[in-house]
Amino acid sequence: MDIFDGNIPVLYSVGIDLAYKISKRYYNNTHYVWCTTKFNSSVQPPTSNPQTICRRFLEQIKTGDRHAYEIDKNKSGILSGAYIKRKEGVITEEQLREICDIVSKAEYESFFPVIYIIYTDKVKHKCIEVEKFQCASDNSVEYRIEKLEAGEFDVILLKDLLHGIIEVVERKAGD
C-alpha cells in the first residue's frame, strides 16, 4: 500500500500525554512519531497497532502496574529525546533538567494515550518508511516522522475524553 498515492488520507500514531506536553512546551510543538495507516488492523502486531497501544496504556494507568514495560520505555524515550534536543541546541541545560524532573515525578495520569491523526498530504515529503528489520513484524506497516509539526496533525486527548470515566491510580508511575 503506497501512502503517497492519495488513497490513505490520514495516518495514526499513539503517544502519551506526558510526551505530547513536553514536545508542545519545549520543542515548539514538534513531535517524533511512529505511525501506521489504520487505527486497528488484524495484521498489525499489538506493539504497533494504535488501538492495542491505547488499551495497554489505559490498563496500566487504571491498575497502577509497576512492571509496565510501555511506561518505562516511554520514560526512557522522553529522556533520550531530551538529551538529543539539548545536544542539538533546541533546549537549554536548565530545560533539560526540568524535563528530567517532570519525567521522574510523572504520575500514572501522565500516561493517558494521545491519538495523533496525521494528514498524509501534509507529511508525505518527510514520512520515512520503517525498514522491515525495525518493524514489529514482516507484515507490519510502519512509518516514522521525525519532525511532525503543528498543522500537520490533530490529536485526541483521551485524558480529556475519559476524565471521570476511568479512575487512575494516584501515585508516581512505577511506585
Number of residues written out for the chain: 175
Report whether 29 contacts 23 (CB < 8 A).
yes
> What are 92-101's pLDDT values in tens digits?
999 999 999 9
Element (H, E) at 55: helix 50-63
Q: Can you read off the three cell numbers belonging to residue 166?
A: 476511568
> What are 65-81's pLDDT values in tens digits?
877 788 889 999 999 99
> What are 43-62's pLDDT values in tens digits?
899 989 999 999 999 998 88
DSSP per-residue codes, 112-168:
-EEEEEEEHHHHTTT-EEPPGGGSSSTT---EEEEEEETTSEEEEEHHHHTTTTS--
pLDDT band at 4 (very low <50, low <70, confident <90, very high): low
**In terms of Cα–Cα distance, which of 77, 59, 67 is closest to 15?**
77
CA atoms within 13 A on the CB side of 133: 0
